[in-house]
A and B are shown apart, each in its own frame.
Chain A
Amino acid sequence: MHPGSDPAVEDRSAAAKRAGHVPGPDLALTAILSAPQREWFGYVLALPALLLMGLVVLYPIVQGAILSLTNASTLTPGRSFVGLQNFQQIFADPVFSTALVNSVVLTGVAVGLELVLGMGLALLLCLKLPGIQIFRSITMASWVIPIVATVMMYSLMTLPHYGLFNIILDSLGLRQWDSYWFGNPALAMPTIIMMHVWRNAPFFGVALFASMRTIPQDRYEAAAIDGASAVQRFLFITLPGVAYVIMIMVILHVLFTFNNFDVIYISTGGGPVDTTMILPVYVYRLFWQNYQTGVAAAVGVIMMLLLLVFTVLYVTRVREQEA
């Protein structure tokens, strides 16, 4: 809707010209007024959203960046500028490196599994099978469940002796593994990864499925006539067709998984003995248990810088698509 190219206004002025009339001042006035008005009104409409995002997201981010350079604490009033001292303290803390490694491993493994399992699910959902519609419609069920309830489900399934997983382990003769999985240093992180995959693989599946359906059918038919195998059709038609969706889904889930606090805080709190400590839980601990506001903010800033490459990738890709 370009101001000034308002088709109705043009039609009427063109009709007026054909009839030998000069466009009346009322029409000209409308055309002039409508341009700035429209632009101005767009801002008015977006204003509440921008104010809210500015207040709750952008202002805190800027404040957080400032706090990271100070010795602010919730225990003592006032704060002074300490330069990069907080960052030095963080890099000297072994818990930080544990949390960093765990965050990277969790994000990498969970998103990788979500992509692979989601791709398999999408291919299955594309099949023309009787009853496939039922599978398609319930796929997102696990994604909509509150994370606290998801953690309770997995706690209940991994209880020693009477959780479903341990009942199965016992019946397979693997009694030595029968334990409370969230309390077992060897099993806590794999269980957390499983929860992330359980929650997000359906979203990958559904997104890839929807994207696969937009690939023109005749490409597959042409390839089949040319004698392309199923694997070749997947590699040379399906995969390029869903490449954009794969990229956006991976970037978004890297951001969401890396930033996620609830899953681990509620299930293990970062334990046992920091085996599931991740950066968001580390920030929480620094702020709410150690009262080190400045140090906590500095870890948050490090997280943001680490994710910057994904944020930039995400925004530029969407912008290209939008253009």
Chain B
Amino acid sequence: MIGRLSVPRMVGAYALLLLYYAFFLIPILWIVLASFKTNSAIILGNIIPSLSDLTLNSYVDVWQTPGVRTFLANSVIVALGVTAISLVVSSLAAYGLSKYRTRGRRGLLMLILTSQTFPGVLILVPFYTFVLQVNLNNTFLGIMLAQTSGVLPFCMWTLKSYMDAVPDALVEAAQIDGCGRLATYLRIVLPISLPGLAVAAFYAFAGSWGDYLFVSVISGSDNTATLPVFLYRISNSQQMTWGAIAATSVLAIVPVMIVFAFVQRWLIEGLLAGSVKG
């Protein structure tokens, strides 16, 4: 939107960018650094540690903490489950509402849109009672259903926006060529919407991976609790050191960052499709 910049303006722009990204990145760097420091180095209060202050001990400690591997495995199972359910359910709904002129379609779309604006705590009060009644408390399924409902509206809107861009003529041509409805969906519509699927998958994964509220309420035991619950618990425990808390935080950040790196190039467009463009 603006052409070439003069040198002083360029310097100014870089200075501002550095300020912004210092604000965004320093908290991340600080906790990563702390996870590699000895506990005595953390409480020294030096910004730059000496080489002898660096250690992998915090990671070793965390890995040997009872239960941590279960929490990690639970996080992976729940996040992958939520991603799979969200993708199947939301892409089918997006296809139906994008490519079929269903009566009342606008109303359904708006209903799904509205549902992400309700307070989670209000939903949880009656939902918790329901979960108890049908014995879904302390189950992966109960947690996954709750988390899926949280990410579904966004996933569906993102995918619908990508599917709207698939020409109707292409869908019709496929059906005339003898492609069944599901074959058209699987072979024509889904491959074209791949960036949307990547963003929706990421949103579902990250939403589930980072969720604390639903897990803390629905999971009553360590058998189903995930990493955020573990992290919150050790942060309140007197036995855990800041080194271990930092290492666990890094453990919680790394998987989602790896997935982020993969979808990053579509993320901006996809996030806009799901929230802003409608």
* A-to-B contact residues, CB < 8 Å: 1-3, 6-8, 38-39, 41-46, 48-50, 52-53, 55-61, 63-64, 67, 117, 120-121, 124, 126-129, 135-142, 144-157, 159, 161-162, 164, 167, 198, 202-203, 206-207, 209-213, 215, 217, 220, 238, 244-245, 248-249, 252, 255, 258-259, 261-262, 265-266, 279-280, 283-284, 287, 293, 296-297, 300-301, 303-304, 307, 310-311, 314-315, 318-319, 321-322
Contact = CB atoms under 8 A, between A and B. Distances in A.
Closest 8 pairs between A and B when the two form their complex, measured CB to CB: A45-B96, A300-B122, A42-B100, A42-B102, A146-B210, A63-B126, A49-B93, A56-B149
Given A124-B13, A126-B2, A283-B125, A50 B106 contact: no
Contacts, number: 323
A315 B110 contact: yes
Contacts of B227: 146, 148
A46 B124 CA distance: 24
B51 interface: no
Given A53-B115, A124-B20, A280-B120, A67 B210 contact: no
A245 B10 CA distance: 27
Given A124-B20, A322-B109, A49 B152 contact: yes
B113 A318 contact: yes
A176 to B, nearest CB: 17
Interface string B224-237: 00011001100100
B252 A266 contact: no
Given A45-B100, A297-B125, A304-B118, A144 B1 contact: no
B101 A46 contact: no
Interface residues of B, number: 108
A64 B27 contact: no
Interface string B61-79: 0000000000000000000
Nearest to B177: A8
A277 to B, nearest CB: 13
B139 interface: no
Contacts of B278: 248, 318-319, 321-322
B27 A146 contact: no
Given A1-B100, A259-B121, A300-B125, 8 more contacts: A60-B125, A63-B126, A126-B1, A128-B5, A146-B252, A149-B231, A162-B44, A220-B1
Contacts of A280: 119-121
Contact of A255 (B30, B117, B126, B145): B117
A142 B30 contact: no
18 contacts: A1-B171, A45-B95, A45-B100, A52-B152, A56-B149, A121-B20, A127-B13, A135-B21, A162-B42, A198-B24, A211-B276, A238-B1, A252-B275, A259-B118, A262-B213, A293-B129, A297-B122, A304-B118
